[in-house]
């Protein structure tokens, strides 16, 4: 068999494998959406959940998921930016930086259950935060920080060294070069990674079972005082998220329409994660085009 035939055969096999993977993923997404979309309505998205009777919604769980996502990103993004900038621009290549990068690799591969148990022992028990949004946000920070840090470092390292030399040649200090030259150039990749990380956090369940709790108490949406226990913004209240709610109603089996609620909530979760991925691609491309046009 000549080289051209071998190349065609290999290409055909690769296309076949890729097609099988696409079909499997499309079938899985299609199954979830076909089962769940008929159950989604405005009432379903805004009404509180019910435990022992049918007709409940996911309003509180959806709000908890969004609030926990925002809080965790507010904590993890500045830390990831600082750590990524240090590793890419200031850290010397020695054993210490090798240990740091190895630790980041190990932390990024930890199962979410392990992160949840760590959060339970440290944030819930040791720090005394209890089952709360704050405990969940800190656990999600531990879960997402290694990947965000690696994304920032890789995005900064992809910037050409000529850009750094140009900034220094203009009389900028090293820090000013990082802020005004390197970070703007790496911004599309950084933002894309942040949005993808947000989508990963939004669908997390195992780490939150042990930290944010499995209850969704009624909230007073007219009271936005974070110090009030019934306030939606209170960071010390327990908060069952959408992913945890899906797991809970399927494991308990006490809700009459558990299958319908689970299907609808799963469809909402899938749509939200898909939205994060689309936003990451669209925003990243727009920022890149603006920067290249300028």
d(CA 239, CA 87): 35
Whether 142 and 115 have beta carbons less than 8 Å apart is answered as yes
Q: Which residues neighbour 231 within 8 Å (Cβ) at sequence distance 6 or greater?
A: 219, 220, 223, 224, 225, 237
Q: Which residues neighbour 210 within 8 Å (Cβ) at sequence distance 6 or greater?
A: 116, 117, 119, 120, 124, 139
Q: What are the pLDDT digits (tens) for 89-140?
A: 888 888 888 888 888 888 888 888 888 999 999 999 999 998 999 999 999 9
Burial of 207 (0-12, 13-18, 19+ CB in 10 A): buried
Please give the structure tokens belonging to residue 217: 């108490």
Alpha carbon separation from 220 to 43, 49, 226, 240 (Å, rounded): 18, 15, 11, 16
For the chain, the residue count is: 294
- pLDDT value for 292: 59
Q: What are the pLDDT digits (tens) for 196-253?
A: 888 888 888 888 999 988 887 878 778 888 878 778 888 888 888 988 988 888 887 7
Half-sphere exposure of 7 (CA within 13 A, CB side): 3
DSSP SS3 for 203 = coil
Run of H or E residues at 59: helix 59-85
- Predicted TM-score (pTM) of the model is 0.84
The residue assigned the tokens 């055969």 is 9
């Amino acid at each position: 068999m000549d080289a051209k035939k071998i190349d065609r055969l290999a290409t055909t096999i690769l296309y076949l494998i890729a097609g099988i993977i696409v079909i499997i993923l499309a079938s899985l997404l299609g199954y979830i959406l076909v089962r769940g979309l008929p159950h989604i309505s405005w009432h379903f998205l805004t009404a509180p959940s019910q435990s022992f009777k049918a007709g409940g919604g996911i309003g509180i769980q959806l709000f908890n998921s969004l609030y926990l996502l925002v809080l965790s990103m507010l904590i993890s993004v500045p830390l990831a930016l600082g750590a990524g900038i240090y590793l890419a621009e200031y850290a010397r290549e020695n054993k210490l930086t090798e240990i740091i990068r190895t630790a980041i690799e190990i932390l990024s591969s930890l199962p979410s259950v392990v992160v949840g148990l760590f959060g339970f022992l440290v944030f819930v028990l040791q720090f005394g935060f209890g089952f709360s949004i704050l405990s969940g946000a800190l656990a999600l920070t531990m879960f997402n920080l290694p990947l965000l840090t690696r994304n920032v470092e890789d995005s900064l390292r992809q910037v050409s060294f000529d850009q750094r030399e140009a900034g220094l040649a203009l009389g900028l200090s090293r820090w000013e070069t990082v802020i005004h030259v390197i970070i703007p150039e790496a911004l599309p990749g950084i933002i894309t990674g942040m949005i993808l990380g947000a989508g990963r956090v939004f669908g997390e369940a195992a780490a939150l079972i042990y930290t944010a709790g499995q209850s969704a108490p009624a909230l007073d949406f007219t009271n936005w005082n974070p110090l009030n226990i019934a306030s939606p913004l209170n960071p010390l209240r327990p908060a069952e998220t959408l992913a945890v709610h899906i797991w809970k109603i399927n494991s308990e089996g006490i809700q009459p329409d558990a299958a319908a609620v689970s299907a609808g909530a799963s469809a909402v979760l899938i749509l939200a994660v898909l939205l994060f991925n689309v936003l990451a691609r669209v925003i990243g491309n727009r920022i890149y085009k603006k920067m290249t046009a300028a």
